[in-house]
A and B are shown apart, each in its own frame.
Chain A
Amino acid sequence: NAGVTQTPKFQVLKTGQSMTLQCAQDMNHEYMSWYRQDPGMGLRLIHYSVGAGITDQGEVPNGYNVSRSTTEDFPLRLLSAAPSQTSVYFCASTRARGPGEQYFGPGTRLTVT
């Protein structure tokens, strides 16, 4: 199994541009989520999904959209990039609705100039 994969690894955007961060998992996990990591703040939840067709907002959802058309994929869209969205983005998945281990992707480092 590849586990959780994310593309791209690095991205530089100009203010106002849009882009999609890709996330895929091959473990048939129901639950997927997106986090952003900023220095000294740990990881903060952006959006999550408990299954195909179901998404919900996390702690910091503004400026981001998600959709979940398949169990495997959970893309994160930046509609109009802003410098405040410069961060490292992690996708995670888990099989259970209970407090099980989450499996994290390797991350995408995004810089918005």
Chain B
Amino acid sequence: AQSVTQLDSHVSVSEGTPVLLRCNYSSSYSPSLFWYVQHPNKGLQLLLKYTSAATLVKGINGFEAEFKKSETSFHLTKPSAHMSDAAEYFCVVSDPGKAAGNKLTFGGGTRVLVKP
């Protein structure tokens, strides 16, 4: 069985300062990992994904994440927060089984508040 834990339910940052969203996962297999963003009253959009290539993954809008197998972590960072980054962020692991390769397990989400 796989699981995802997002260590902070809320993060508050000032505009222009770094953002760190923490995610730990548990998986019996070599996982595929994703970060999705959800702006208020919207659907989910993919920020970035890790699928066993480079451990440092760059995504859209200046976000990046580092896969650390030894720590079972996949933390999301951005050097400088923008007001438009205010949203909820989900860390997600994909079940690598055959036909179930697209079954996603979501973390509980981290809501990001950006202060001017």
Contacts and interface: CB of A to CB of B under 8 A. Distances in A.
Given A99-B32, A99-B94, A99-B96, A43 B42 contact: no
Given A98-B101, A102-B102, A107-B43, A43 B90 contact: yes
Interface string B78-116: 000000000000100010101101111111110000000
Contact of A42 (B34, B45, B108): B108
Interface in B1-22: 4, 9
B46 interface: yes
Interface string B37-54: 000001111100101000
A94 B106 contact: no
Interface residues of A, number: 27
A58 B108 CA distance: 17
Contacts of B44: 43, 90, 92, 104
Contacts of B45: 104
Contacts, number: 66
A42 B107 contact: yes
A74 interface: no
A41 B104 contact: no
Interface string A84-100: 00000010101011111
A104 B43 CA distance: 6
Interface of B: 4, 9, 32, 34, 36, 42-46, 49, 51, 90, 94, 96, 98-99, 101-109
Interface of A: 4, 31, 33, 35, 40-45, 48, 50, 58, 90, 92, 94, 96-102, 104-107
**4 A-B pairs closest in CB distance:** A42-B106, A99-B32, A99-B94, A104-B43
Given A58-B103, A99-B49, A101-B49, 10 more contacts: A33-B102, A40-B9, A42-B108, A43-B44, A43-B104, A43-B106, A98-B32, A98-B51, A99-B102, A100-B102
